[in-house]
Amino acid sequence: MAIRSKKKKEYSTVVIVNRNNPNTKSISIRTKHLTRLKYYILALVLVLASLITSVVILNKQAQQNAAAKHELEKFKREIAGPMASDTTVARAYIKKIDSKLYRIQKYMKQRGVQRNTAKIGGIEQKSVSGLDQYRFYNVFLDGLIKNLKYLPLGYPHRNHRHSKYGYRSNPFHGGGSEFHSGVDIEGKTGDPVKATANGVVVLADWSYGYGKCVRIRHKHGYETLYGHLSKINVKVGQEIKADHDIGALGSTGRSTGPHLHYEVRYLDRPINPSDFLDLH
């Protein structure tokens, strides 16, 4: 049986010399460590480089985080804050719009115009999304515009009214009172007279005290009458639109001078045209 001999460890001596001190110091180091010193130094350099790189990366990340935080604060200050404020203001305006549309719908219903829709957003639409609510507004307004075309609104001839609806002194035969079923609007003979809504002409002829007269039937039970005309420009059965030139102002029939007698009728009964001349 062979016996291994232990390898003898080799040492090297490092002498440390100090100029100002004649005494020297020596350190005994295993030789293999001296031969590996360059590797130790290289490993140390790599570790230091890694640490420096990590510090640089962390510092850069910290700068990016700070910049992102700054941008976030800027967004909150310049965009998110005003947007929240604008949203609050917008909701307040939507609430006002709801109220006004409800009043318009009520006004239309009181005048016989029925709307086959749900109530306005602020009344029964709170649970729907904003987009659905805007769609609802759009549909409602489309229907409103369509129905308004058949509701007699505004003046057939834009001028002063000199005789109102209701009881008045009889301008003929020297006294007494009579019921005036419309309003009289001043003007000159030949001034154009316009229809106040879409409809169909049901009368275009002489009619007793009205003289030359045009009567138009609209939807929802309404009719309008235009009396004392000097000229008629339409015929019975003709479909016309609002602002259509139906004739000329005059003084035919039972009249004291050139003017337009204008009536609004609902279900064949005269009502006060003043409610339809000006919207308040």
- Reported as a single tens digit per residue, the pLDDT across 12-60 is 666 666 777 677 776 676 666 667 666 778 888 888 888 888 888 888 8
From CA 203, how far away is CA 217, in angstroms rounded?
9
Half-sphere exposure of 70 (CA within 13 A, CB side): 6
The tokens describing 34, both together, are: 């001296």
User: Can you tell me whether residue 267 is helix, strand or coil?
Assistant: coil
Domain boundaries, the chain: 161-277
The predicted model scores a pTM of 0.60
| Residue 123 pLDDT greater than 50, yes or no | no
User: Quick one: average pLDDT of 117-144?
Assistant: 64
The residues near 180 (Cβ < 8 Å, ≥ 6 apart) are 163, 164, 165, 166, 167, 168
User: Quick one: average pLDDT of 252-265?
Assistant: 93
User: Quick one: average pLDDT of 232-239?
Assistant: 97
Grade residue 121 by pLDDT with cuts at 50, 70 and 90: very low
CATH architecture, domain 161-277: Distorted Sandwich (2.70)
Which one-letter DSSP state was computed for residue 164? -
| Nearest alpha carbon to residue 151 among 201, 112, 100 | 112
Please give the pLDDT value at position 240.
Answer: 95
User: Quick one: average pLDDT of 92-104?
Assistant: 76
